[in-house]
Amino acid sequence: MFDNDYFTEAELSCRCCGKNNFKDKTLRRLVRVRELYGNPMIVNSGYRCPAQNTRLNATMTHATGQAVDVSVALSGAHKLLNIALEEGFTGIGVKQKGSIKKRFIHLDDLDSIPGKCIRPTVWSY
Ligand SMILES: [Zn+2]
Ligand SMILES: [Zn+2]
């Protein structure tokens, strides 16, 4: 499933334990975004095991294997957002203030599950 030209299994694995349950469907969507984006995309978080997710005190989106955080800012962030929306990412989290190096965009393609996660949606950090 990690047979693609852009993203390695390692960069999409849990940072604490190396586990990787990243969903194939989401990876294929990410590869389409990368092809349209045309520049390297730096992944700072992909799959997270539930324990790591709890340590980070985050919502469970990354534990589903359908979420990724990409380090990006300014015009790159604008371009990535456009493409991600076109390609059907349904959860968009935007961190675009403070240090340029710490800016990122969260993308996930979770489905709408009543009472669990409302999609499509967008939020800021
Ligand atoms: Zn882990
Ligand atoms: Zn995220």
Label the pairing between strands 104-108 and 67-71: antiparallel
The residues whose Cβ lies within 5 A of ligand 2, an ion, are: 69, 106
pLDDT given for residue 1 in this prediction: 66
CA–CA dist 59, 67 (Å, integer): 11
- Contact (CB, 8 A) for 62 and 46: yes
Q: Where are the domains of the chain?
A: 10-124
Per-residue pLDDT of the chain (125 residues; tens, 9 = 90+): 688 999 999 999 999 999 999 999 999 999 999 999 999 999 999 999 999 999 998 888 999 999 999 999 999 999 999 999 999 999 999 999 999 999 999 999 999 877 778 899 999 99
Q: Please tell me the CATH code under which domain 10-124 is placed.
A: 3.30.1380.10
Spacing, Cα 27 to ligand 2 middle (Å): 15
- Contact (CB, 8 A) for 37 and 79: yes
Terminal-residue alpha carbon distance, the chain: 31
Spacing, Cα 55 to ligand 1 middle (Å): 10
Ligand closest to CA 69: 2
pTM greater than 0.85: yes
Spacing, Cα 3 to ligand 2 middle (Å): 23
Whether the bond between 120 and the residue before it is cis, its omega within 30 degrees of 0, is yes
